[in-house]
């Protein structure tokens, strides 16, 4: 029991944190390249405001 | 900002060309009405068990009404009878509108609602008879678990078929969260109700806690956020601050949440390294939570005055504040030093109720207040009553949460001093339980007003046709 | 990639599931494979390594008592884990002897597990042998007769049913006994 007390788990957590940060950075750069972070990608939030039933609230 | 506004106008004009879709909403109505009935009935049970803490011999000679039978009924009834059913009803309202098409099958939807009611009513009978699997949140017997899986497949098929036939290519964030809920719930539920039966001891506890934690984290959180993301924008008439930020919140939630189950057994008989992983990921939960909450607050920038006379928005924004608080508490509890004090105390019910009642039930109530008048083509029976239901739930809720936090923290300090006999720490908490009981009554009054308001809206729909007001 | 996920249904589903399964697998399937103590029943014959003893499977009558414990929802208010906190080892202790902490190998035969999550009443992980069966009978009939101020519900239907009472007591007396932690062996029956 004693040997699993702290250290290996701490290193494992560091490793996971690094993996997570690396992944986040990778996807951020790719999305930037593919033009995801442009104004166009915000379209869904405007469309959902429009009520197709033509009901009272405009 | 001006650019966005003109953009919105242009898009509205463009969308106006398309033919309007008429939604039947039968399924949504069924789910909502039955869930509100359970909200009321289980509310009575909730007040009863709060009373049992004050008068422990209350109903003590009736074995079907003892605390150990009523508590699982309260938990399962609120989670699955009220909250999940209401969330499903609101999903059946949101998805066709977000996709611009009719629901794939209204008949299948109604059958799902009927099956769901069969499950809940059978669950009531089983739990009162003491038929209990002995695993938290997974108390229901295997036969009912199978029915839940069937109902979930019916629900998922209906939603996924609707999304697959959607008119717009890009999906709004609520659709994401709902798809996530359906998929993750399937696996979380199978783990918590079937896989556990093949394990024992610590292994089983680990699976059980993975399920319990993710029942909240990957079922009620994503569907609750889907509701908030839809109804905050709709009822305030403001577009979301940022679609991209909402995506970051979604993917962070998808990745981080599932790791944290073992934080329910900190200091307990489970491997230390697994506890450490759970702690690390619990702290990382701050990322998806703050991404979501920032998005909502930024949406409301300059619009807070709307809270004055907008009942759904009141519930929604206080729900967001409770969500922020509860999700700040969670990561903090998982730190070993804090956990040594608050774990297993009355703080924990305070925390759990803030998540399930304060955040997710508030979202569901807001959605109901918004949706019911619209599907019945009428106005809300009474805005004043709506306000009263809000303040009753708010005051009762705050009384409940705050006294249990204070009491639980105090209890934790006492437990950590072994010189104090255990029974003294029980007696010390009695004033806290009395306040909890009266807060519970306030909350129950709020539920009654809410249920009455909705019922009166539905029954009087023909006399009060929809006003042309905004 | 995000753009693709934004509008491609199948891709979104796949990505959401992959993200979920990384954590899901690493925290549920992998741990019991790494930590063998989760599945190996406790056994120790060397007093220098802590309390000696051996975990035995439950007897038939203990299992019946366990079913009652589950049925009545005792586990909603009583935990069964002496945590790695000093106060826990003192509170689970008896007559000045600190209790050993609970380890996974003591619970291998527990299904459903009864670790619990809320301590409205005291922890029961080491309750076996602390009180005699007459005490338990009186306590089930009305807890406040023995412990003034208690908020435990009365269980007359257990106290008045000799078979259920016997099973229930047998189960409670077995709790925490696989580690033979009391030096004088002064367990009550």
The answer to whether C131 faces chain B, any CB pair under 8 Å, is no
- Contact yes or no for B233/A48 (Cβ under 8 A): yes
- Cβ contacts of B227 within 8 Å, gap of 6 or more: B87, B90, B94, B174, B363, B364, B366, B367
- Domain of residue A44: give its range: 25-50
**Distance from B114 to chain C by nearest Cα, in Å?**
28
Count, residues in chain A:
58
CB atoms B202 and C75 under 8 Å: no
Which residue in the set B134, B191, B417 is minimally distant from C112, CB to CB?
Answer: B134
The answer to whether position A57 is within a domain reads: no
Relative orientation angle of helices B311-333 and B383-415, to the nearest 10 degrees: 10
Show residues of chain B in contact with C35, CB under 8 Å. 271, 274
Q: Which residue of C has its CA nearest to A35?
A: C3
| For residues C103-127, average pLDDT | 94
The answer to whether C162 faces chain B, any CB pair under 8 Å, is no
| For residues C71-100, average pLDDT | 94
One CATH from 3.60.120.10, 3.20.20.70, 3.40.109.10, 1.10.760.10 for C43-174:
1.10.760.10
Q: Which residue of B has its CA nearest to C92?
A: B418
- Subunits close to A (at least 3 CB pairs below 8 A): B, C
Give the pLDDT confidence of C134-183 residue by residue, as tens digits: 999 999 999 999 999 999 999 999 999 999 999 999 999 999 999 998 88
Show residues of chain C in contact with B63, CB under 8 Å. 155, 157
Which ipTM value was assigned to this complex?
Answer: 0.94
**Distance from C6 to chain A by nearest Cα, in Å?**
9
Domain boundaries, chain B: 23-459
* C-alpha Rg value of chain A to the nearest Å: 22
Least confident window among A33-42, B55-64, C51-60, C104-113: A33-42
- Contact yes or no for B179/B194 (Cβ under 8 A): no
- Domain count for chain A: 1
How far apart (Å, rounded) are the C-alpha atoms in residues B249 and B222?
Answer: 10
CB atoms B269 and C91 under 8 Å: no
How far apart (Å, rounded) are the C-alpha atoms in residues C101 and C109?
Answer: 18
Q: What is the pLDDT of residue A8?
A: 62
The answer to whether A31 faces chain C, any CB pair under 8 Å, is yes
Q: How far is CA B48 from CA B57, B241, B344, in A?
A: 12, 43, 22
CB atoms B233 and A48 under 8 Å: yes
- Contact yes or no for B304/B247 (Cβ under 8 A): no
Burial of C158 (0-12, 13-18, 19+ CB in 10 A): buried
A to C CB pairs, distance under 8 Å: 19
Name residue C44's beta-bridge partners. C53
Which residue in the set B53, B183, B201 is minimally distant from C110, CB to CB?
Answer: B201
Domain boundaries, chain C: 2-34, 43-174
Which residue in the set A10, A50, A52 is minimally distant from B11, CB to CB?
Answer: A50
CB atoms B273 and A55 under 8 Å: no
Which residue in the set C3, C37, C103 is minimally distant from A34, CB to CB?
Answer: C3
pLDDT (tens digit, 0 to 9) for every residue of chain B, 470 residues total? 344 444 544 454 445 444 578 888 999 999 999 999 999 999 999 999 999 999 999 998 899 999 999 999 999 999 999 999 999 999 999 999 999 999 999 999 999 999 999 999 999 999 999 999 999 999 999 999 999 999 999 999 999 999 999 888 888 999 999 999 999 999 999 999 999 999 999 999 999 999 999 999 999 999 999 999 999 999 999 999 998 889 889 988 998 999 999 999 999 999 988 998 899 999 999 999 999 999 999 999 999 999 988 999 999 999 999 999 999 999 999 999 999 999 999 999 999 999 999 999 999 999 999 999 999 999 999 999 999 999 999 999 999 999 999 999 999 999 999 999 999 999 999 999 999 999 999 999 999 999 999 999 999 888 877 754 43
How far apart (Å, rounded) are the C-alpha atoms in residues C165 and C155?
Answer: 10
CB atoms C153 and B67 under 8 Å: yes
How far apart (Å, rounded) are the C-alpha atoms in residues A23 and A27?
Answer: 6
- Contact yes or no for B97/A44 (Cβ under 8 A): no
Show residues of chain B in contact with C87, CB under 8 Å. 415-418
Burial of B53 (0-12, 13-18, 19+ CB in 10 A): buried
Considering only CA atoms, which of B313, B371, B462 is closest in space to residue B28? B371
Residue B401: both structure tokens together: 């949460």
Query: What is the phi-psi region of residue C124: left when phi exceeds 0, alpha when psi lies from -120 to 50, beta otherwise?
Result: alpha
Give the pLDDT confidence of C62-76 residue by residue, as tens digits: 999 999 999 999 999
User: If you ran DSSP here, which 8-state letter would residue A6 be given?
Assistant: S
Q: How far is CA B98 from CA B22, B226, B231, B375, B441, in A?
A: 13, 11, 12, 15, 38
The answer to whether C57 faces chain B, any CB pair under 8 Å, is no
The answer to whether B443 faces chain A, any CB pair under 8 Å, is no
Angle at C147 between CA C141 and CA C148, to 5 degrees: 105
Give the pLDDT confidence of C96-110 residue by residue, as tens digits: 899 999 999 999 999
- Cβ contacts of B245 within 8 Å, gap of 6 or more: B291, B294, B295
Show residues of chain A in contact with C11, CB under 8 Å. none
Q: How far is CA B287 from CA B254, C44, C48, in A?
A: 12, 45, 47
One CATH from 1.10.8.10, 3.40.50.620, 1.20.210.10, 3.10.310.10 for B23-459:
1.20.210.10
Which residue in the set C1, C37, C103 is minimally distant from A34, CB to CB?
Answer: C1
Q: What is the pLDDT of residue B171?
A: 87
How would you classify the pairing of strands C43-44 and C53-54?
antiparallel
The answer to whether C18 faces chain A, any CB pair under 8 Å, is no
**Distance from C143 to chain B by nearest Cα, in Å?**
10
User: If you ran DSSP here, which 8-state letter would residue C154 be given?
Assistant: P
Name residue C43's beta-bridge partners. C54
CB atoms B168 and A42 under 8 Å: no
Show residues of chain C in contact with A5, CB under 8 Å. none
The answer to whether A15 faces chain C, any CB pair under 8 Å, is no
A31, A33, A39, A40: best to mutate for the C interface, most C CBs within 10 A? A31
The answer to whether position A34 is within a domain reads: yes
Which residue in the set A4, A54, A58 is minimally distant from B273, CB to CB?
Answer: A4
């Amino acid at each position: 029991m004693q040997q699993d007390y702290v250290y290996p788990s701490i290193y494992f957590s560091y490793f996971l944190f690094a993996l997570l940060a690396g992944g986040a950075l990778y996807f951020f750069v790719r999305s930037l390249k593919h033009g995801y972070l442009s104004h166009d990608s915000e379209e869904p939030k405007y469309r959902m405001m429009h009520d197709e039933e033509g009901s009272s609230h405009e | 900002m001006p650019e966005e506004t003109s953009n919105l106008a242009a898009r509205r004009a463009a969308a106006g060309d398309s033919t309007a879709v008429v939604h039947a909403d039968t399924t949504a109505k069924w789910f909502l009405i039955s869930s509100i009935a359970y909200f009321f009935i289980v509310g009575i049970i909730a007040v009863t068990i709060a009373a049992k803490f004050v008068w422990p011999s209350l109903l003590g000679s009736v074995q079907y009404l003892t605390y150990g039978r009523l508590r699982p009924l309260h938990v399962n009834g609120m989670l699955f009878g009220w909250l999940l059913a209401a969330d499903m009803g609101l999903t059946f309202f949101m998805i066709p509108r977000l996709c611009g098409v009719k629901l794939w099958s209204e008949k299948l939807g109604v059958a799902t609602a009927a099956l769901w009611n069969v499950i809940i009513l059978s669950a009531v009978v089983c739990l009162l008879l003491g038929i209990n699997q002995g695993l938290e949140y997974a108390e229901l017997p295997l036969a009912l678990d199978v029915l839940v899986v069937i109902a979930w497949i019916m629900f998922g098929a209906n939603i996924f078929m609707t999304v697959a036939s959607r008119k717009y290519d890009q999906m709004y964030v609520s659709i994401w969260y709902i798809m996530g809920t359906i998929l993750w719930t399937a696996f979380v539920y199978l783990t918590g109700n079937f896989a556990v039966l093949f394990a024992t001891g610590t292994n089983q506890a680990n699976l059980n806690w993975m399920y319990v934690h993710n029942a909240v984290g990957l079922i009620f959180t994503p569907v609750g956020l889907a509701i908030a993301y839809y109804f905050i924008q709709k009822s305030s008439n403001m577009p979301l601050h940022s679609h991209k930020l909402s995506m970051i919140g979604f993917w962070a939630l998808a990745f981080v949440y599932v790791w944290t189950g073992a934080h329910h057994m900190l200091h307990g008989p489970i491997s230390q390294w697994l506890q450490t992983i759970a702690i690390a990921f619990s702290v990382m939960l701050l990322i998806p939570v703050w991404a979501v909450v920032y998005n909502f607050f930024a949406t409301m920038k300059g619009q807070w005055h709307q809270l004055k006379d907008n009942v759904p928005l009141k519930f929604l924004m206080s729900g967001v504040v409770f969500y922020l608080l509860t999700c700040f508490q969670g990561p903090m509890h998982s730190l070993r030093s804090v956990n040594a004090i608050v774990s297993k105390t009355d703080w924990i019910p305070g925390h759990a109720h803030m998540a399930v009642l304060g955040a997710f039930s508030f979202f569901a109530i807001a959605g109901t207040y918004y949706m019911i008048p619209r599907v019945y083509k009428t106005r809300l029976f009474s805005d004043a009553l709506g306000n009263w239901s809000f303040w009753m739930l708010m005051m009762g809720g705050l009384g409940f949460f705050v006294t249990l936090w204070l009491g639980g923290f105090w209890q934790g300090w006492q437990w950590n001093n072994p010189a104090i006999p255990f029974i003294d720490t029980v007696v010390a908490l009695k004033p806290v339980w009395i306040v909890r009981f009266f807060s519970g009554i306030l909350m129950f009054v709020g539920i009654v007003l809410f249920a009455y308001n909705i019922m009166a809206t539905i029954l009087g729909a023909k006399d009060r046709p929809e006003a042309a007001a905004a | 990639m995000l753009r693709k996920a934004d509008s491609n249904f199948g891709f979104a589903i796949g990505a959401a599931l992959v993200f979920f399964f990384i954590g899901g697998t690493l925290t549920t399937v992998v741990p019991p494979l790494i930590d063998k103590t989760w599945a190996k029943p406790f056994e120790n014959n060397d007093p220098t390594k802590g309390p000696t003893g051996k975990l035995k499977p439950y007897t038939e009558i203990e299992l019946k008592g366990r079913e009652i414990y589950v049925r009545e929802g005792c586990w909603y208010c009583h935990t069964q884990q002496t945590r790695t906190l000093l106060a826990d080892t003192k509170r689970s202790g008896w007559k000045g002897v600190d209790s050993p902490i609970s380890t996974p190998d003591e619970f291998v035969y527990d299904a459903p597990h009864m670790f619990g999550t809320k301590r409205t009443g005291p922890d029961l992980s080491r309750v076996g042998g602390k009180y005699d069966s007459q005490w338990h009978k009186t306590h089930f009939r009305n807890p406040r007769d023995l412990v003034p101020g208690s908020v435990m519900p009365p269980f007359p239907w257990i106290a008045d049913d000799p078979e259920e009472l016997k099973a229930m007591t047998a189960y409670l007396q077995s709790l925490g006994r696989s580690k033979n932690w009391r030096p004088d062996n002064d367990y009550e029956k």
